[in-house]
Amino acid sequence: MLCIFFAGCGRGYRSAYDYKTKLSAFAFDATNGSDTAKPFAKDLCVAGPENLTGSTELSGVIAAGLFDVGSCGTLYAKNVHNQMAPASLTKTMTALLALKYGHLEDVITASANVNITEPGAQLAGLKEGDKLTLDQALHALIMYSGNDASVAIAEYISGSVDEFCNLMNREAQELGATNTHFSNPHGLTQDNHYTTAYDLYLIFNEAMKYDKFKEIIGMTEYTTSYSDRNGNPKSMTVRNSNYYITGEVSSPSNVSIIGGKTGTTNMAGSCLVLLSNDQKGSPYISVILKADDRDTLYRQMSKLLEQVP
């Protein structure tokens, strides 16, 4: 039985990550002539339960991590496994699933559910009956952090927000983000909606595999036209909410910032996940959760990025 299991007639055995079993943490592949088990995290940065901060102390932030994507090394880790509210960093998973399961040219029709009335909620201005492509909705989602765009995308992918959240949670588990649970596609405060700095690294790292995602996170401004329920044109201009991209905050001289995702709520504080390159072009992912305010967020993120060699 063991010989059959490992040999598999040359086809090998593969399983997605499942936190309930030890077996699925590996991929047994007989096609390469080896009986060696490939660990699930072979190509991922890992971080233990202890903090890894060295002499660097980031004040005014609860959790932070700096991950060397190329060498799979964790350079900084502060409370990276603490379960916390992610605010609009949630939309990284929403964008990932839109790119994985959707088609950029597909037309989305907004339902009445895009009418979000929560005070302070960021809205791209979608109304019931509006028609726009998934590509247009993704720009509103990622750059401007439109919560209404999140709902429209969720319903397009899964038919309902509830079913989309089920998909979000299944995909999170398969990525190894086992300290995460999503209750909505946008990140507005809701019970049982949480993630960790490390899980956000895993999700953002997966989203980076899509060129469209990397393109959008690096754009300063985007203007487009779509139609309302009666076919009349509506214009939309969105500006990136990331101050590094808009030039309102300067990055450290040792890195070039490619882009990222911002998030802010009263519960989550000020949050940011970034993709940066060092001077050789090697990528790094940095995450900060629950900074005291926006100024603290960018000041401490720059301090964190100074740890890049």
Residue 105: pLDDT above 90?
Answer: yes
Q: What's the rounded Cα separation, in Å, for the pair 208 and 225? A: 27
Q: Are 271 and 264 in contact (CB under 8 A)?
A: yes
pTM summary value: 0.89
Which residues are catalytically annotated? 88, 91, 145
pLDDT > 70 fraction of the chain, expressed in percent and rounded: 88
- Per-residue pLDDT of 168-221, as tens digits, reads 999 999 999 999 999 999 999 999 999 999 999 999 999 999 999 999 999 999
Domain 92-241 top-level CATH class: alpha beta
Where exactly are the structural domains of the chain? 92-241
| Average confidence (pLDDT) over 134-148 | 97
Residue 151, number of CB atoms within 10 A of its CB: 25
| Residue 273 parent element (H or E) | strand 269-278
Predicted confidence at residue 31, as pLDDT, reads 53
Place of tokens 């007639």: 9
Predicted confidence at residue 234, as pLDDT, reads 97
User: How confident is the prediction for the chain on average, in pLDDT?
Assistant: 91
Residue 267, number of CB atoms within 10 A of its CB: 12
**Is residue 42 very low, low, confident or very high in pLDDT (cuts 50, 70, 90)?**
confident
